[in-house]
Copies of this chain bind each other. A is one copy, B any other.
Amino acid sequence: MKFRVQRAALVEAVSQVSKAVSQKTTIPILTGIKVSAEDTGLTLTGMNSDLTIQVRIPHRVDDKEQVNVERIGNIVLPGRILGDIVRKLPGDEVEWTVDRLITTIRSGQAQFQLNGLDAEEYPRLPQLEEHQTFSMQADLLKSMIRQTGFAVSTQEARGVLTGVLCQLKQGRLIFVATDSHRLSRREAEVEADPELDLHNVVIPGKSLSELAKILADQDGWVDVVVADNQILVKADNLLFFSRLLEGNYPDTNRVIPQGGISEMVTSTREMLESVERASLISRDGRDNVIKWTVKAEGHVEVTSAAQDVGVATEEVPAKVSGEELTISFNARYMIEALRAVDSEEIRITFTGTMTPFVIQPADREDALHLIVPIRTR
């Protein structure tokens, strides 16, 4: 096995597959990155019990040579050290030779000889049936992850609630996440066979947050393949596999209230900053409770109090219709929801002081965040 590769391309590829490489694993070969050289380019693979990431460095990109393979072959090298080494290599080009399992990496005046592992022992990629597929813009997928992923439960014991529910019906994709105290939901049109119907595809929240990072620089389209217990996202020179969570996701439709007793429209940024300030007082308390008092004359009073510390109060202007009310909630849930809203204004619909309320971008219907209030004395 012998090839030359542009260092920048190698650094990028190693950094991407490293997201699936763990130091803590009972299967030693999975602490490694598999590097395969074929005539058409290089393929790097990283894998853990949840994820498999494969990145290709093609022979040429836009007429510029990225990789030149002289002798094909495969090797597995320790992931962490490989990442650190390629980042620090002095030259623009890297020369890579494998003789039996000893891998020699040369760049500029630097030379490393690393003990590799036999690539034959590296697990195969998951094999997926590809008949359930849809396509969407990478940017849209990233938005949908960003606007729902934060609401998953972080407690492993909560099972399916640690994942994002992904449903597809008549070309409409829905992401839902909830930890049972709050819920986030986002819908969008995608390119799909209108017959394709997905009900209970639950993707681990952690997998999606890695996917969003890996797609950070991608624009263009991605293909999504859904199989029995795996999902595969295909982008330019990238394959991203995640296992799916087992179990039935609860029906959340009946949780989301229709209509309400009052409504307000206010600035997303002003409200976010105001809640962030109020939470400086409440954050050390168990539930990080802050209170809204919605006033018909056109503002919300945002208050928080902690016995030993003090009190925060401020008024945020709002267009209010319907009943005045006072409602208490966990400041962190509100902050995370408001940070996920891209619109300048939000509409908030209340159904009572003890029942869930809904936050939506004021100018669109395809996203919502629901928060369950906290009972206070």
Contacts from A to B (Cβ < 8 Å): 78, 81, 84-85, 88-90, 102-103, 109-115, 273-274, 276-277, 280-281, 308-316
Contact = CB atoms under 8 A, between A and B. Distances in A.
Contacts of A103: 310
Given A78-B309, A81-B309, A309-B78, A277 B110 contact: yes
A273 B91 CA distance: 12
Residue of A85, A112, A276, A312 with most partner-chain B CB within 10 A: A112
A280 B85 contact: yes
Nearest to A109: B314
A316 B109 contact: yes
Given A81-B280, A273-B90, A276-B88, A115 B310 contact: yes
Tally of this chain's copies: 2
A81 to B, nearest CB: 6
A174 to B, nearest CB: 35
A287 to B, nearest CB: 18
Given A88-B280, A276-B88, A114 B310 contact: yes
Contacts of A315: 109
Contacts of A280: 81, 84-85, 88, 112
Contacts of A112: 277, 280-281, 310-313
7 contacts: A81-B281, A88-B276, A109-B315, A109-B316, A110-B274, A110-B277, A112-B311
Contacts of A316: 109
Contacts of A90: 273, 277
Contacts of A281: 81, 112
Nearest to A307: B115
A308 B110 contact: no
Nearest to A311: B113
A110 to B, nearest CB: 4
A286 to B, nearest CB: 17
Given A81-B280, A281-B112, A316-B109, A88 B311 contact: no
Contacts of A311: 112-113
A84 B309 CA distance: 13
A113 to B, nearest CB: 4
Contacts of A115: 308-310
Contacts of A109: 274, 314-316
Nearest to A112: B312
B312 A111 contact: yes
B113 A310 contact: yes
Given A88-B280, A115-B310, 15 more contacts: A85-B280, A88-B276, A88-B277, A89-B277, A90-B273, A109-B315, A109-B316, A110-B277, A110-B314, A111-B312, A111-B314, A112-B310, A113-B311, A113-B313, A115-B308
Contacts of A113: 310-313
A312 to B, nearest CB: 5
The 8 closest A-B pairs by CB, nearest first: A114-B310, A113-B311, A110-B314, A109-B314, A113-B310, A84-B280, A112-B312, A111-B313
A277 B81 contact: no
Nearest to A90: B273
